[in-house]
Structure 1
Amino acid sequence: MNDSARKAFALRLDPSLHAALERSAATDLRSVNAQIEVLLREALERRGVKLAPPLTLKRGRKKNGDGGN
């Protein structure tokens, strides 16, 4: 999945909420953006909202024959 497959939007947060998200994300070794996504998925799951599993990104270098340089 590339970044263009993700929906981007502005989100205004109270500074204390953002600080709490930064601490929580650091504890879980995630970015704030990834932490917000995880927390939203957990909250929706608790409410019984069904979601498709998150798309995963392939990490690392491309192997020979994958169209890389």
Structure 2
Amino acid sequence: MAGEKKAYPLRISAAVLEAMQRWSDDELRSLNAQIEYVLRDALRKSGRLKPGKSAPVEDDD
């Protein structure tokens, strides 16, 4: 279950989506991987991600 991925529909403003796309292009990641990376980083920094749950994001796209 550790590597399990779940689909989740996300409503996001066009401006934020465009900014995330530019950022993901700069980082050579897919947009999906960049969004997951940013979420994991925020969770880790806030102490909300349990140890061992912060494996690197795999680019499945």
The normalised TM-score by structure 1 is 0.68
> What are the residue-to-residue correspondences of 1:10-49 with 2, within 5 Å?
10-49=9-48
- Provide Cα deviations, 1:12-65, integer angstroms capped at 9, x if missing partner: 1100000000000000000110000000011011111233132776xxxxxxxx
| Structure 2: runs of 5 or more not aligned | none
Answer with 1 or 2: which has the greater Rg: 1
| Structure 1: runs of 5 or more not aligned | 58-69
The equivalent of 1:53 in structure 2 is 54
What is the root-mean-square deviation in Å for CA atoms of aligned residues?
A: 2.1
Runs of 4+ deviating beyond 6 Å: none
